[in-house]
Structure 1
Amino acid sequence: MTAPTRTGPSPSGGGPTASPDLDDLTASIGDRIRAERLHRGWSQAHLGTRAGLTKKHVGAIESGHTTLPVVRLAQLCHGLGMSMSDLLSDQWVMPERKVPQLLTPRQVQILTEARTGAPLSQIAVRVGMPRESVSARMSEVYRLLGVADLPRGRREAAIRAAEERGLLEPAVLDDAA
């Protein structure tokens, strides 16, 4: 028995055409969704909130690790503010990634220090500010990066969100240690 072949016109106008590789198609759609999200400067959590999905689900879709029902695709396109036909079009072009300048240089400095895991009192000494001012700036950073609603781990979430948006260079791990 032979594998089923999708019938219909081929690009050359002749007989049947082979079905597309569904894994490649899923990965391509995930790549397009990621590109559109990054173009807007959004985190996966932010797109998930807009689309009514979890951050984990958005991540799985973007990485091509899950099938994408039409309903989920419609939710994501609605969250992105674009039509499914635009996202799936052969005319779609990868947008340039926007790097929003959400944070002031002082906020970036504080967030960079926060990446070390030091307590606020040490960060305050390092940046030459009162602890209360550092705390207030960190709260503002959480709000600007869309992680203020998270109950725990906001520092790590803020650092990840800032790295995703190109506001902080990703941390470099020292392999020599």
Structure 2
Amino acid sequence: MSTAEDREELLADVGDRIRAERHARGWTQAQLGTRCGLSAKVVAHVENGQTSLPLYYLAELCCGLGVTMSALLSDAWVMPTRQREERALTPRQAHILRVAASTGLPLSQVAARVGTTRQVVAARLSESYRLLGVSHLPQDERRAAAARIAEERGLFDAIESYAA
């Protein structure tokens, strides 16, 4: 292999590692770019091995990812696993979920109680189920499971002022 080919392979490998670290955190290229003061375009070029990698970019990317350059470049580097981000519900999502779960009413009646449309209630509940990790459950089990998880995580605490 020529020196140019070695360099291209190294750049591609570093780009793959940066992409893996970013994916493990659930970030977009724009989010990583914002964290390290680079544009999403620069992040994309680095991840795709399309640019020579100035040390400054590598340092900024490592800083943004919270990894050291030595760890990222080490032969001992291991692809990270994606971290599950525990996201809270918005006060509106929590309010709709609480009303839906506590009353057991159909969506149209929940909508009337919370002052919105059935479509909005359906969308907010669907997003809540996804965020709480229960969207895979059978339909008749989702509300109760989502409400139980929201209660356990204290996600209903923030809605007291919202519902008032």
The two structures have a TM-score, normalised by structure 1, of 0.48
Code of the residue aligned with 2:76 in structure 1: it is: Q
Give the structure 2 partner of residue 94 of structure 1.
79
Structure 2 counterpart SS, 1:21: helix
Whether 1:25 aligns to 2:10 is yes
Please show how residues 12-161 of structure 1 align to structure 2 within 5 Å.
19=3, 21-102=6-87, 104=89, 124-128=117-121
CA–CA separation in structure 1 for the residues paired with 2:88 and 2:19: 22
CA–CA separation in structure 1 for the residues paired with 2:69 and 2:117: 48
Gaps of 5+ in 2: 95-115, 128-164
CA drift at 1:54: 0.6
**Which segment drifts farther, 45-54 or 86-95?**
45-54
- Structure with a larger share of its residues in helix: 2
CA drift at 1:125: 4.2
CA–CA separation in structure 2 for the residues paired with 1:63 and 1:18: 20
Q: 1:49 to 1:21 in 2, by over 3 A?
A: same
1:65-101 deviation line (CA, Å, top 9, x unaligned) = 2221111101111111121111000010101122324
The two structures have a TM-score, normalised by structure 2, of 0.52
Code of the residue aligned with 2:35 in structure 1: it is: R
Q: How many residues align?
A: 100
CA drift at 1:124: 4.8
Structure 1 counterpart SS, 2:57: helix
CA drift at 1:41: 2.1
Q: Percent identity?
A: 48
Give the structure 2 partner of residue 9 of structure 1.
none
Give the structure 1 partner of residue 110 of structure 2.
none
1:120-165 deviation line (CA, Å, top 9, x unaligned) = xxx9542337xxxx7xx9xxxxxxxxxxxxxxxxxxxxxxxxxxxx
CA–CA separation in structure 2 for the residues paired with 1:53 and 1:93: 25
Query: Stretches of 4+ moved more than 4 A in 1?
Result: none
Aligned-pair Cα RMSD in Å: 3.0
CA–CA separation in structure 1 for the residues paired with 2:19 and 2:56: 18
**Which segment drifts farther, 89-98 or 59-68?**
59-68
